[in-house]
Amino acid sequence: MSLCDLPALFMRGGTSKAIVVQVRDLPEERAAWDAIFLAALGSPDPSGRQLDGMGGGISSLSKVCVVGPPSRPDADVDYTFAQVAIGDATVDYGGNCGNMSAAMGPAAFELGLLERPEDGEAVVRVHNTNTGKVIRARFPVVGGLLDPDGTLAIDGVAGTAAPIRLEFLDPGGAKTGTLLPTGNAVDTLSLPDGREVTASLVDAANPCVFVAAADLGKTATEHPDAMDADTGFMATMEAIRRAGSVAMGITADLTAAARMPSVPKVAIVAAPTDAVTLSGRTVRACEASVITRMLSVGQPHRAVPITGAICLAVATRVPGSIPNRFCAVGQGPLTISHPSGTILVDAEVVEAGGSVRAVSGTVYRTARKLFSGTVHYRHTGP
């Protein structure tokens, strides 16, 4: 065993944090990345805390982003997202992290991948290699870097920062190639225990499975810890996620679905109702367009994943879908109520030839560089 060094940034993007590394500093053989990422984050950790690494013990804090030169002409930088498991030795590249997408434009300037712009607004086209989609990031710069100040507050993050506008272009079919992989706005999923569950299977920014909260005896106002403690509910949600994965064609069978925990994401949704946030504030029903509780990598998310929020926004625009049924607004920006508060999103969906297409999904986030330097990790290989 030896100690190895990896040049890196540590950045917050939205309500997530991740190590950001350059592809040039990693082995050419992609199969060798997993061991590095696991060691750097401190996984696997049977205690679930990742104290021997840079991870934070929950899915939103156990991430790695790899950046490098663009591989397509309509992008300025490539970005590959890795979701690092906490309790076992797996790294999932199945989907994107929308929160960390907010940090990729600023990171490109920090790392010298792009020429630093003049003061004003920077526009960076970020190609997410996991989904094959381009995200256009717009943000203010001072001295060629992300403006360190700003007035935008996002729920789940203390303080304010400069706004980063993320435009997910043509987000439909990020994983499956089709906005509605089954061709239906609503499907019936059969679970291994014989139960059937009605769900909407939508693939925009990341594939998601949406279920009416009431169908599972929930309200979508539940505290994440209460959800996590309900082992029966959590098992049902995982069974729904796996069944959705197979129905969407993401995996061939339930066993393969179990090995890809990051996609699809699974969520319960309901019409707006009063809900108490993690900070104790009450989000009134009149402040929201729809309410959700979403799971990510087998854990109740303490906010809402950005790609999940984009997918939900798109789903509310799909006629006949479960989110469409519960959404209180028919067009224009919508506010999603989640455990940490609310998030404002927008989506444009058009109907043509009997099918629907997602034109774009937009959200505002913030990001910040936390440190730059070297990550030291234990190498156990030959």
Q: What is the chain's percent helix, strand, coil content, to nearest 5? A: 20, 40, 40
By C-alpha distance, which of 283, 352, 316, 372 is closest to 21? 372
Q: For tokens 């999932």, what's the residue?
A: 92
| CA angle, residues 314, 319, 325, in degrees to nearest 5 | 85
Q: Token pair for residue 197?
A: 């569950």
CATH of domain 2-163+367-379: 3.10.310.10
Looking at residue 186, its pLDDT comes to 98
The pLDDT of 256-277, averaged and rounded, is 97
Predicted confidence band of residue 381 (pLDDT cuts 50, 70, 90): low
Is the per-residue pLDDT at 382 higher than 60? no
Tens-place pLDDT, residues 341-364: 999 999 999 987 788 999 999 999
Task: Quote the pLDDT of residue 352.
Answer: 79
β-pairing verdict for 164-169 and 367-379: unpaired
pLDDT digit string, tens, across residues 295-342: 989 999 999 999 999 999 999 999 999 999 999 998 889 999 999 999
Strands (E) in 98-228, as ranges, are 120-128, 133-142, 145-146, 164-169, 187-190, 196-204, 206-212
List the domain boundaries for the chain.
2-163+367-379, 187-348
- pLDDT above 70 coverage of the chain, percent: 99
For 202-211, what is each residue's pLDDT tens digit? 999 999 999 9
Domain 187-348 fold:
Diaminopimelate Epimerase; Chain A, domain 1 (3.10.310)
Distance set, CA 312 to CA 13, 179, 270, 287 (Å): 20, 12, 12, 17
Across the range 114-118, mean pLDDT stands at 95
Closest of 338, 341, 313 to residue 327, by C-alpha: 313
Decide if 2-163+367-379 and 187-348 have a common fold: yes
